[in-house]
Amino acid sequence: MGVSIAVDDFGTGYSSLSYLKRFPISKIKIDQSFVRDITTDSGDAALTAAIIAMGHSLHIPVIAEGIETVEQMDFLVANRCDEGQGYFWGRPMSFEALMHWFSVNYSKRSVMPG
């Protein structure tokens, strides 16, 4: 059917390790509450690294939410996180602002879909 399932805010609330076994999970998204302090809190760093390692051992890509600093990005790259999202790349913007951002930041020779 072309449907995929991502576990959002993994490690908080109702997300459960059993979901990884019971459902065909396509991606795990690490909650931003862990990412926020990975460079200053050894517990958050250890949990984030463990979630990434667990995802990899289960062949499930891992996305980090809430990346805001180069230090957070460096930690996630060093731990082989598959994808990331957050203000590190940009704040929410209108479609028109996004198109302007692309025109300023990417040449016409850049590989763009369509």
Task: Specify the pTM.
Answer: 0.79
In a domain, 62, yes or no: yes
In a domain, 113, yes or no: no
In a domain, 111, yes or no: no
The CATH code of the domain that includes 91 is 3.20.20.450
Instruction: Decide: 67 and 84 in contact? Cβ < 8 Å.
Output: yes
Instruction: Give the C-alpha separation, 51 to 2, whole Å.
Output: 26
pLDDT, tens only, 1-51:
788 888 887 877 766 787 788 888 899 999 999 999 999 999 999 999 999
pLDDT, tens only, 81-94:
999 999 988 888 89
Q: Tell me the residue range of the domain where 30 lies.
A: 5-105
Number of domains in the chain: 1
In a domain, 110, yes or no: no
